[in-house]
Amino acid sequence: MRKLCGLFFLFVVATMPTIVFADHIALANGDSISGEIIHISDGQIQVVTEYAGEIRIDFSKATDLTTETSGRVTMKNGDAITGRLLSVSEEDMVIASVILGELRVPRESFVSFELLEKSVSVQAEAEAVPVSTREAAADHEVTRQSVEDEMVEAKAPELPADLWSGSFAVGAQLQRGNTDTMDVHIESSATRTVPREELRLKFYADYGETEGNTDTNRIFGEGKLKVFLSEPRYVFGLTNMEYDEMENLDLRAQAFGGAGQIFLKTGRTQFLGEIGAGLTGEFFDNDGDEETVEPSGWLNAEWRQKVGARAEFFQGLTLYPSLGSFGDYRVRSESALTTPISDHWAVKLSVIDDYDSDPESEDVRKNDFRLISSLEYKF
């Protein structure tokens, strides 16, 4: 019997480091650290390891991170989410919420993580539980673990607010094509992220004139909803509207639906592709062709790449083939390099090229090229 107890004791001691130090941190230099993460804030990870004791790690150098114990996650907008950190990349974080399940949020909206068991004492947490819960625990001799489980649920928010992020930019653009001018450019975007869904809204406008005559007058707006069936696959729906005075375009309205997939996603790189179909309606002024509404396709590819420590490069290519007039198509290419200069401000350089194989009149050129330099504020 003593031998059996001794063997059991040795087994517990041998496996204890695995049981206690189950959290994992992957660093950009390839190192991997296991321990118990008790606090993340102010750009520092506080972790207790088996051999080095308590250490601090620069959060910006973590390419992935997983916790096995629930904690309190605080966001920039004041929301508090109770749950575990399932993964962390340079773009976003996945939180296993006690109430909502898996929740994907932008990494830039994260403020802190605090292990529940380290934040306050068990006695203080017990006092925070509703009286009815504590009385029930006493009447039925509920175990300490059961009480702690109820305390976690009592602390969890009933429904966290929508998680929004976005940007606003203003700058100047050099245009060649249907007009050769230097114009004012403004753009804004907003993204709402909830479990398994992403809603993105964007808007831009360009305007310029010379000696009282308008050279550029363009407005564009788009809304796009992604619903993730099982990551990395998703379905989407989008609609957009465009006005361009120089192309005699009073309104171009489009609506598409389709499917997409994230083919590659690492801490520094993401590549996705989409395919869909929908309708395109074009309405011109008196100098243009007749109004048309016809089916059209949607083929889209996007590449995002971290450059250096903070900059990001984006390349998007979208093909709109006409399904009513075969051989006609439009192509939009967008390249952008965004370089942060502070936590909220960045300098953005963009190159946009729009090509139309069949313009509405002979006076309208097939190709529009724009070079845009802007100052961007992220929120």
**pLDDT tens by residue, 316-326:** 999 999 998 88
Q: Which residue has the tokens 């360009």?
A: 206
Selection from 84-98, 117-131, 170-184, 316-330 with the highest mean pLDDT: 316-330
Percentage of residues in the chain with pLDDT exceeding 90? Answer: 36
**365 vs 359: CA distance, rounded Å:** 7
Would the pLDDT of 242 be above 50? yes
Backbone angles phi, psi at 311, to 5 degrees: -75, 155
Q: Which residues does 15 contact at the CB level (< 8 Å), separation at least 6?
A: none
Q: Which residue has the tokens 């925070």?
A: 128
Pairing between strand 233-244 and 213-230?
A: antiparallel
Cis peptide before 232 (omega within 30 of 0): yes
Selection from 15-19, 26-30, 188-192, 361-365 with the highest mean pLDDT: 188-192
Do residues 350 and 376 touch, judged by C-beta distance below 8 A? no
Listing DSSP states for 7-43 in one string gives HHHHHHHHHHHHHH--EEEEETTS-EEEEEEEEEETT
Mean pLDDT of the region 181-205: 90
Q: Which CATH architecture has domain 163-378?
A: Beta Barrel (2.40)
**Strand-pair partners of 181:** 175
**Maximum C-alpha span of the chain:** 100
**What confidence category does residue 153 fall into, taking pLDDT thresholds of 50, 70 and 90?**
very low
**167 vs 376: CA distance, rounded Å:** 7
**230 vs 188: CA distance, rounded Å:** 30
- Decide: pTM greater than 0.75: no
Looking at residue 16, its pLDDT comes to 41
Would the pLDDT of 348 be above 70? yes
Backbone angles phi, psi at 9, to 5 degrees: -60, -45
Task: Please give the residue that has the higher pLDDT: either 161 or 116.
Answer: 116
148 exposure class (CB count in 10 Å sphere: 0-12, 13-18, 19+):
middle
Every domain range in the chain assigned CATH 2.40.160.40: 163-378
**316 vs 248: CA distance, rounded Å:** 26
Average pLDDT, rounded, for the chain: 80
Looking at residue 23, its pLDDT comes to 85
Exposure string of 98-133, with b = 16+ CB inside 10 Å and e = fewer, is bebeebbbbeebbeebbbbbeeeeeeebbeebeeeb
What's the pLDDT tens digit per position in 119-139?
433 344 444 334 443 444 344
- What angle separates helix 144-155 from helix 131-139, to the nearest 10 degrees? 160
Would the pLDDT of 86 be above 90? no
Selection from 264, 202, 277 nearest residue 237 by Cα: 277
Looking at residue 310, its pLDDT comes to 86
Compute how many other C-beta atoms are within 10 angstroms of the C-beta atom of residue 186. Answer: 14
Mean pLDDT of the region 26-30: 82
Looking at residue 287, its pLDDT comes to 57
**What confidence category does residue 354 fall into, taking pLDDT thresholds of 50, 70 and 90?**
very high
